[in-house]
Amino acid sequence: MKNFIIVATFKDGITPDDIRALIPAEQAQAKILKEAGSLGFIQVAMPRRTVFLEVFAETEEEASKIVHTLPFMAIWNIEVFETAPPAGDKF
């Protein structure tokens, strides 16, 4: 399994009400993905309207498909980055 970081930014025009309306469904789907071992951390930088998600998948395409199951995809633009530990780290 490879490690990916997804950087999600809220689309222009998305309001706090738009976000709040999707939170219950988002939390439910995130729980399913975490229990399946497909999703790690989720960190939100709301002042920058950016969310960082850790996804475990075999390919970038698979990582993108996993994130596309989240309800917030309707209000996000995403970038997918495959990551690795820094050289010399023994993780």
Residue 50 forms part of a structural domain: yes
Beta carbons within 8 Å of 77's beta carbon, 6+ residues apart = 8, 9, 10, 11
Q: What is the DSSP letter of 63?
A: H
Inside any domain, residue 30: yes
What tens digit of pLDDT does each residue of 53-82 get? 999 999 999 999 999 999 999 999 999 999
Structural domain span for residue 38: 2-83
Domain count, the chain: 1
pLDDT of residue 91 exceeding 60, the answer is no
The CATH number that applies at residue 35 is 3.30.70.1060
Whether pTM > 0.85 for this model: the answer is yes
The answer to whether position 55 is within a domain reads: yes
Residue 12 lies in a domain: yes
**Percentage of the residues of the chain whose pLDDT score is greater than 90:** 91
Domain assignment present for residue 8? The answer is: yes
